[in-house]
Amino acid sequence: MKLAAQATQLLAILFGVLDKFGVKFRSKLLNIVNSEGLGFEIHSKDFPNIAKNVEAEAHPAGWFGYESYGPLGSRLSVWFSCYDKNTGRIKPAARDRIKRALQKFGFEGRQFRDEDGSLNVFCKAEASPGDLEWFTKVLAALNEKRLN
């Protein structure tokens, strides 16, 4: 593989997302998930509306970046931490609020997945309309003052 030309493009896009929301990069935002993901954490202090809307009880309130799923391929992914610390399960009201907000922005149910008390919204790499635009659209959907 020859990936040198693309390696910095991934980071440029992720930095661009932070920039769109006025978030200054700090090294503690960077989160590498094993060898399967590269992205940034969604900290409550940087995205207070998102933290409130997903009812994040844990830190961070989420994560966004690129993930590799073996034979399923690569994808753009955003995880929202909406689990109840007492039960370890996803909060149904928060999950439903997140889904409704994303559906208003045109995301479809088949793009959502519940896992480990979090809601994941994803886009296969080849289906991305533009990576920066896709990440920005997902985060903007939840970055409103209190959602219904």
Each residue's pLDDT tens digit, 96-129: 999 999 999 999 888 998 888 899 999 998 889 9
The amino acid at residue 85 is: K
Q: Residue 59: its pLDDT value, please?
A: 82
Surface-to-core class of residue 143, CB atoms within 10 Å of its CB (0-12 exposed, 13-18 middle, 19+ buried) = middle
| pTM summary value | 0.90
Domain count, the chain: 1
**Is 148 a domain residue?**
no
The pLDDT, as a whole number, for residue 1 is 64
Whether 116 maps to a domain, the answer reads yes
Question: CA–CA separation, 101 vs 110, rounded Å?
Answer: 15
Please give the mean pLDDT across all residues of the chain.
89
Range of the domain at 42: 4-142
Name 32's bridge partners: 38
Q: In what order do the strands lie in the sheet with 74-81?
A: 30-33, 37-42, 62-68, 74-81, 118-124, 112-115
Q: What is the arithmetic mean of pLDDT over 63-76?
A: 86
Rounded to 5°, angle at Cα 98 from 94 and 100: 115
Establish if 114 belongs to a structural domain: yes
What are the pLDDT digits (tens) for 39-66?
999 999 999 999 999 988 878 999 999 9
What is the tens place of the pLDDT at every residue in 26-43? 999 998 887 788 999 999
Q: Domain with 21 in it: what CATH number?
A: 3.30.1460
> Does 12 have pLDDT greater than 80?
yes
Residue 77 in any domain: the answer is: yes
CA torsion through residues 49, 54, 58, 59, sign:
negative
Per-residue confidence (pLDDT) for residue 148, from 0 to 100 = 64
